[in-house]
Amino acid sequence: MLNDQLVISEVTGPFREPREPVLSYDYSIQRATWAATHAVRVKIALAEELEYVKEKLLGSVTGSPGQQLMLNKFLSRKIGDQKLRIAEAEGMLKERGDVMLPPFTGPWAQYFTQLELWLQAEQNVLRTEIKKVTGLSS
């Protein structure tokens, strides 16, 4: 039997979506059973996801504009990676074809709880990585 594990071959981003308050990442994913890679665009809501995670991890954050940029890039990528793992666990990526994962708000809000659970479980690791990458601490 072939291994049907999801493999991420490339990630690009973050991109600022026009007319939407979101950042997005484009993932190229592949399974051994697929003939070609497929694209997944993961959107991260600036206020409801990125700012929420920053507040939960660090409280009110101050730092240079460069540190803020590095923090936003680091956290948005971590959120995007986790949202992709959630989508995989929920079976959203089993079929071949391109997929767009919207922010976990509105009709997709039921998945936000899984994002919160990840944040609680990984907060110490994330804080350590943030300090190493940006020099900011909580």
Tens of pLDDT, residues 92-114: 988 777 899 999 999 999 999 99
Q: What is the model's pTM?
A: 0.92
Question: How many Cα neighbours within 13 Å face the side chain of 78?
Answer: 23
Q: Could you report the per-residue pLDDT of 17-33, keeping only the tens digit for each?
A: 999 999 999 999 998 88
pLDDT value at residue 1: 45
Q: Is 91 left (phi over 0), alpha (psi -120 to 50) or beta?
A: left
Name, in order, each residue with C-beta under 8 angstroms of 35's C-beta and a sequence gap of 6 or more. Answer: none
* Other CB atoms within 10 A of residue 126 CB: 20
The strands making up 22-30's β-sheet, listed across from edge to edge, are 7-16, 22-30, 38-45, 99-101
